[in-house]
Amino acid sequence: MAQAKYSTHLGMVDILPDEVRKWQFLENLIREEAAKFNFEEIRTPIMEQTELIVRGLGQLTDIVSKEIFSFSRGEDNYVLRPELTAPVVRAFVEHHLDQRGGSQKLYYIGPMFRAERPQKGRQRQFHQFGVEVIGSSDAVADVEVIAFMIHIYNKLGIKNTTLKLNSIGDPESRETYKEALKAHLKPNFMKLSDLSKKRFEKNPLRILDSKEEEDKPFIENAPVITDYLNDESINHYNKVKEYLTDLGISFEEDPYLVRGMDYYTQTAFELISPDLGAQDALAGGGRYDLLVEEIGGQRTPAVGFAAGMERLLIACDELDIQLGNEKSVDVYIVTLGDAARKWGLSQLPNLRAKGVSATMDYMGRSMKAQMKDANRENARYAIIVGENELNEGKFTFRDMKESDEKSLPFEEILGLF
Ligand code: AMP
């Protein structure tokens, strides 16, 4: 085969029809289950203002400092959205969604963009589904969000997962902790990675999330944030743990778990799978009680998660979980001659109107080749039409599975569906 002249960009993949069937199955499942939780779908543009993402996620995060795809046009700066929490919060503020009353329970499914080094489970255009509950500070919201996330994996049969849980406290607790962390790191400041040195003053918590080897020894014995939580933060964290336990959702506390964005407060969590290899995070999320205000709204508590769809598909593959059905069509009309072809074309709408999927040959092939094609398309039935059939008004109706044929008027064939 000749080498194609054009290809997708690095880390961006085409999802071809056989794969798309799996995606549709997943998307339908997510939509059905979200409806059971009374979450409503929200859709926002693929591009956002750069300022929103920088401000929302934080200047020193990996995403903002290294991974955003951005460009300008005229006066405007655009970024391909790297995640959806900040855009959903922007939409919440822009459209005054608080005026709908109660807490907004939103979910989304869609592509995100990060210029990371591609590898298995890590792409530059990837897809997430996620939930954002905006307007509740109650631990019930945290736990419903976590329960929905886990529910999707369980529903698919992915049960061998670990929920990692932490609290990174409110701003007051975090200030005290930051000082303790800095005091711990300071004697070894010169040995830290360049990125961690940069983060030291402005955002030392991010150092805990460092992937650099040279930072590891200093992270391993750092003080833990849970020792610095104030009463309010401890109460919230305890309630989250209590409600999770009530629901039978097991978790592992990880006091060094900080998430990749600066907007998190209080609860932070990640869902890990041993079936994924190096990129083992299926999903992650937490509370972000300050983000709405940061973006220009009134202070409004919120909690959410985002899950990687590609990693979910990899996990299904590893566990031999079948998603969706094989390609198939209900009826294939096989025709011989022009008049039959015209008849076939005009009957397709009648079949489709009955809810039956129907197709015919588009390539003027022989009857034999059409029968072969009907098999390749996994047709359940074939209607075979030639000049004789047209004259008699009776058509061969073939059950492709049972290899059984009947000669019937078209009305009767339609009546079988
Ligand atoms: P994050 O928005 O970074 O918290 O990521 C949430 C989830 O999205 C992760 O747990 C992954 O499953 C998925 N994810 C994040 N980045 C990528 C990527 N570059 N490629 C594929 N999946 C990703």
pLDDT tens digits, residue range 286-343? 999 999 999 999 999 999 999 999 999 999 999 999 998 899 999 999 999 999 999 9
Q: Residue 220's pLDDT band (boundaries 50, 70, 90)?
A: confident
How many Å lie between the centroid of ligand 1 and the Cα of residue 125? 10
Nearest to residue 47, comparing CAs of 97, 96, 82, 94? 82
In this prediction, residue 402 carries a pLDDT of: 95
In this structure, the residue with its CA closest to atom 20 of ligand 1 is 122
Over residues 251-285, the pLDDT tens digits come to 999 998 988 777 889 999 999 998 888 889 999 99
Contacts of 292 (CB under 8 A, 6+ apart): 89, 92, 93, 134, 298, 299, 300, 302
Question: Rounded to whole angstroms, how far apart are CA atoms 181 and 200?
Answer: 9
The CATH number of 329-415 is 3.40.50.800
- Distance CA(413)–CA(389), nearest Å, equals 14
- Other CB atoms within 10 Å distance of the CB of residue 105: 20
**185-210 confidence digits (pLDDT tens):** 999 999 999 989 988 988 888 888 88
Could you give the strand order of the β-sheet that contains 302-308, starting from the edge strand earlier in sequence?
Answer: 40-41, 104-113, 125-134, 302-308, 281-287, 265-272, 162-167, 252-253
Distance 309 CA to ligand 1 centre (A): 9
Residue ranges, CATH 3.40.50.800, the chain: 329-415
Distances (CA, A) of 307 to 107, 130, 143, 280: 11, 6, 16, 12
Six-digit token pair at 196? Answer: 């961690």
Question: What class, spelled out in words, does domain 17-170+230-318 have in CATH?
Answer: alpha beta
Tell me how far the alpha carbon of residue 367 lies from the centroid of ligand 1, in angstroms.
Answer: 50
> How much of the chain, in percent, has pLDDT values that exceed 70?
100
SS3 254: coil
H or E element that contains 85: helix 85-94
Distance, in Å, from the CA atom of 72 to the CA atom of 115, rounded to the nearest integer, reads 17
Nearest CA to ligand 1 atom 15: 308
User: CA-CA distance, 181 to 202, in Å (whole number)?
Assistant: 12
